[in-house]
Structure formats: C-alpha cells, structure tokens
Structure 1
Amino acid sequence: MILASSAWWGLATAAGAAVSYGVLALATARLSQSTLRGVLFAAWLLHALTLAEGLLGNPPRFGFAPALSMTVWLVLTVYAIERRLFPQLQAHWALAGLGSAAVLLSIVFPGTSYHMVASPWLPLHWALGIASYGLFAAAVVHGWLMTRSERSIRLAEQNNAGVPLMTLERLTFRFVEAGFVLLSATLLVGWLFAEQLYGPGLAWKWSHKTVFSVLAWLTFAGLLLGRARLGWRGRKAVNVLYLGSGLLLLGYAGSRFVLEVVLKRI
C-alpha cells in the first residue's frame, strides 16, 4: 500500500469517480436518461483523470490495480460509444459497480513507481497490452450479456440485455478479433525488442507473465479458429473466451498482484 505516494488531486478524482460509479450502480432505475448520461460521463472523466495522475505523474506509477482500473475504463468507454448506437443496451449498473471497485482498488494499491524508463517506446508497449486487455474485457461483458440473452430466449422471458442475440454475438467476436490483433502485436514487440524496451540483459524470457500471455494467445487463436472452421457458438464459445481472458488476466495483473501484495516486491 502506497497511499501517500498519490497526489492529493489524484485521490480526490479517484474518490469522486468511485462515488459517481456507486451512485450509478445503486440508483440506475431511479435516474432519468439525461441524469444517467451525466453521471456516467462525470464518473468516466474523473476515472480518466485518476489514471492520468498515475501514468503521467512524477514518477509515473503502474501495477496490477492500475492495469485493472484502466481495463475497466476502456470497457466503459466502449460501452458509452455503443449506447449511442444501441440505446437499449442494459449493462451500466454492473459496469458502474466494477468501475467503483477498480478505482477503490487502485487507491489502495497504486502500483510501482518507475523513476527511470529504459525506453521511450515502453509506454507504447504497455498501451498495446492494456488495450488488448480492454478489448477482451469488453468481449467478456458482451459474452455475459449473450449468455443471459440466450437463457432468456430459452425460458421464454424478456431479453434483459436489450440487444438481439445475433447482434451481441457479432459484437463479442469483433472485440475478440481486435483484441487478438493487439495481443499478437504486444507479444511480437516484446519478443523482438525486449532489450530495447526493458534494458540490456533483459531479453525475452519464459516468466510467469510470458507463459500465461502465450497460453492466452493460443486459447484465443483456438477460439477464432473453432468459430471459423467448426462453427463454435453460444456457451461453448463464451466458455473458451472466459478461459482465455482468465489466462490473460493472470499474465500481467496476476503476476504483479503476487509481486506487489503477496511478496511485497515493489
């Protein structure tokens, strides 16, 4: 825990984001559409300022909790854009709850301070990896909505997701495909330019992070191949998506959690 390392305004924006998300999660049914949009935008903006304080501070900080927080922020960004295209999409209460939890977690565990970055390209490498996290997380959210929609259809209930099942499936795999491209780019850059990114003597090695990331890549490759060649759909495809996302989560966030929280090597 390094609460004192955060600037006061960073803590203020984080608290504001957590409260805004909490209001959105608990009072969604009682808010008008205009109020809901305003609260969501306020929470999203405060969340963005919180992330900027950590990444652009002096020194910058990063770790498992900021990585999860940025992932949730990216998912909320995607959701906000999709709400413009599909106003009937219903997931803000769940995403707001995740947003509040992610921001609070990043307050308690703000990450490691990086006093010197080996390469100016390292933040870009991080950005590619986190962007792939965000896209796969968006795919997981849509896969969850798809499962709920499929269950509602089977039980002849109202579709709580608010979007047709085929549309949800199409959106899910678009996010998987985009995330797979970025994850491939992240692994390729890490393999080819590890020493330039992290410094001399720090070439590609089979660490826990690398092993889980490669396993996740193989899982997602299998998912896309299974969908294209074997027609995987529905629950089988979503379960493989969950597996790959879990492996990817263990790759960076999981290994950093062990280092920062369990072993306290920060």
Structure 2
Amino acid sequence: MILSTASPLLVGGAPLAVALLAVAGYMLATVPAQGLARWAATGLVLGWCLHFVLLVMDIGGWGQSQPGARLGFAPVLSITVWLVLAVHTVESRFLPLPAVRRWLALAGTLAVLIALTFPGEPRQHASPLAPLHFVLGVASYGLFGAAVLHGVLLDAAERRLRLRSGTPGSAFGMPLLQLERLTFRFVEAGFAVLTATLVLGAVTAAQWRWDHKIVFSLLGWAVFAALLLGRRLRGWRGRRATRWLYAGAVLLLLAYAGTRFVFEVLLGRPPA
C-alpha cells in the first residue's frame, strides 16, 4: 500500500485528532443495544459534524505538511459519504432506521480512515470556475449516493412485501410508492447537477481530451438519462429501474474516484 507523504497518519496533528474523534462518534452509532439508542443517534450526529470539520481541514490543507486543496479519490469518497449521511440525518428525524444508521456509521468510519491514509495531492486550478465544477461534481455524487441508498431500501422493501403477502403496503415505516418517488427525486436532482457539471467542465477545460474521467462520466450520464426516459415513457419500476440506477452510479464512481484510485494508490502518482 502506498501512503501519501502528506498523510495525517504520518504527520499527526489536529486532523488526526479530529479524525479519531469522528471515528469514535461513528462507532458509537453502531451500538445495537436498545437501551443505548439515544446515545447511538447522538454518536452519529457527532461523527457527522466532526467528519465535516475534518473535510474542511483535510481538503483545505490545514494542519498538513503541504497547504492546498486536495481533491484525490479518498476526499471525494469522504465528501460523498458525508452528503449521504446528511440526507439520512434529516430523514431520520421523521423516520428512524436503526439498521441503516449502523451501516452508514460504518461507511463514515471507513471514509474517514481511507481519507486519512490517502488525502491526495494539492492541485492548482486552471480556471476560477474549476472549484465550482468540483463542487457540482461532488454534489452529484452525493445525490446519486442518496438515490442508491433509497434504491437499496426500495429493493429490500419489495422483497419483504413479496415474501409476506405480495400486496402494497408500508416499507420501513414509509409507503412503498412514496419511497419510490423519493428515490427518483434524488435521481432527477443528481442528473440535473451532473449535467451542469459536464457542461461547466466542457466550458472551463483548457483542452478537451477523451480520458477515463470524460468517458465514464458521459457513460454514467447516458445511463441515468436512459433510466429517466425509461421511467417516463415505459414506466420502468422496481428492480429494472434500480439496476439502471446501480449501473449509472458505478460508472460515475469510476469516472473520478475510480481513476484517481488507480493513479494515486496502484500507480503511486497523481493523474496527469
């Protein structure tokens, strides 16, 4: 395993302390005991808040050996998980899902630890609009991540209903049709933000080139476009729709985080 020379695991300091506290909060949220449910919910919020502080410190280069914005695969994954957790934190106020909370807390723990190990290298922006392009791209990651989370819940709910009676009803305390609509609201929002990201990227790019990032991004965009058209024109629902959702999410993940993982971890050098 190749460690970045700027990794907080090596330099220590405030980012490492915040990261350990965030991990402690997330781990508290995984406690299954019924009597500690309130503490578990508090732990998730605490871990989420400290995770945000760590993102600001790590991506901004505060407390690191090299200042500058770090936009490697691990920070992007970390931001994505944080955004999905933000959606869950809001929804849990209306619909508590302890099992989902535990899985998301584990995801938050892994995201923090991976970002600690592979914080990425600082990069200079060729255009003043490049940071906006990055923010929109990560926002689309978060929206599609939330859609995937709800898609998994939708699939699990449909399986449970088929095993019980095969009749419509509630799933995880939410009507099945409402859960489905919510899933595709996230897909539609993510698709709109992804479209804006691609357009802004084309406008701000100093030179257009067909690299892995562009190819996978366009393939992901095409899959989501087909999903929305299929749902509107052909009435796609259930597993057919969620399979397209998962395929588009994987392509989008490969577009940025996947290619940077190959360069930064497997090849040990930043992307060109």
> Counterparts of 1:160 and 1:143 in 2: how far apart (Å)?
12
Counterpart residue number, 2:149: 141
1:241 equivalent to 2:245? Answer: yes
Which of 145, 156, 162 is residue 154 of structure 1 equivalent to?
Answer: 162
Which of 98, 106, 110 is residue 115 of structure 2 equivalent to?
Answer: 106
Which of 78, 82, 89 is residue 80 of structure 1 equivalent to?
Answer: 89
1:127 equivalent to 2:129? Answer: no
Q: State the 1:2 CA deviation.
A: 2.2
Q: Is the 8 A contact 1:148 1:161 kept in 2?
A: no
1:54 equivalent to 2:58? Answer: yes
Q: Deviations over 1:160-195 (max 9, x none)?
A: 733221121111000000000000000001112212
Counterpart residue number, 2:64: none
Q: State the 1:133 CA deviation.
A: 0.3
Counterpart residue number, 2:254: 250
Q: State the 1:12 CA deviation.
A: 1.2
Which of 37, 49, 69 is residue 78 of structure 2 equivalent to?
Answer: 69
Gap change, CA 1:97 and 1:3, over 3 Å in 2: farther
Task: Return the TM-score normalized by structure 2.
Answer: 0.89
Q: Is the 8 A contact 2:28 2:40 kept in 1?
A: no
Q: Deviations over 1:18-50 (max 9, x none)?
A: 22212212x034354432332111101110011
Could you tell me which runs of 5 or more consecutive residues in structure 2 were left unpaired when the two chains were aligned.
62-66
- Aligned residue type for 2:16: L
Q: State the 1:88 CA deviation.
A: 5.4
Counterpart residue number, 2:187: 176
- Aligned residue type for 1:145: L
> Counterparts of 2:268 and 2:211 in 1: how far apart (Å)?
18
Percent identical among aligned pairs is 49
Gap change, CA 1:252 and 1:37, over 3 Å in 2: same
Task: Return the TM-score normalized by structure 1.
Answer: 0.91
> Counterparts of 2:238 and 2:266 in 1: how far apart (Å)?
37
> Counterparts of 1:161 and 1:38 in 2: how far apart (Å)?
21
1:211 equivalent to 2:220? Answer: no
Counterpart residue number, 1:91: 100
Counterpart residue number, 1:15: 20
> Counterparts of 1:88 and 1:262 in 2: how far apart (Å)?
37
Q: Is the 8 A contact 1:10 1:50 kept in 2?
A: yes
Gap change, CA 1:112 and 1:4, over 3 Å in 2: closer
Counterpart residue number, 1:165: 176
Q: Deviations over 1:57-78 (max 9, x none)?
A: 2222121111111000000001
Residue 164 of structure 2 aligns to a residue in which SS? Answer: coil
Cα RMSD, aligned residues only: 1.9
Could you tell me which runs of 5 or more consecutive residues in structure 1 were left unpaired when the two chains were aligned.
196-202
> Counterparts of 1:12 and 1:113 in 2: how far apart (Å)?
21
> Counterparts of 2:52 and 2:99 in 1: how far apart (Å)?
23
Residue 119 of structure 2 aligns to a residue in which SS? Answer: coil
How many residues matched?
257
Q: State the 1:87 CA deviation.
A: 3.7
Residue 32 of structure 2 aligns to a residue in which SS? Answer: helix
- Aligned residue type for 2:83: L
> Counterparts of 1:177 and 1:247 in 2: how far apart (Å)?
17
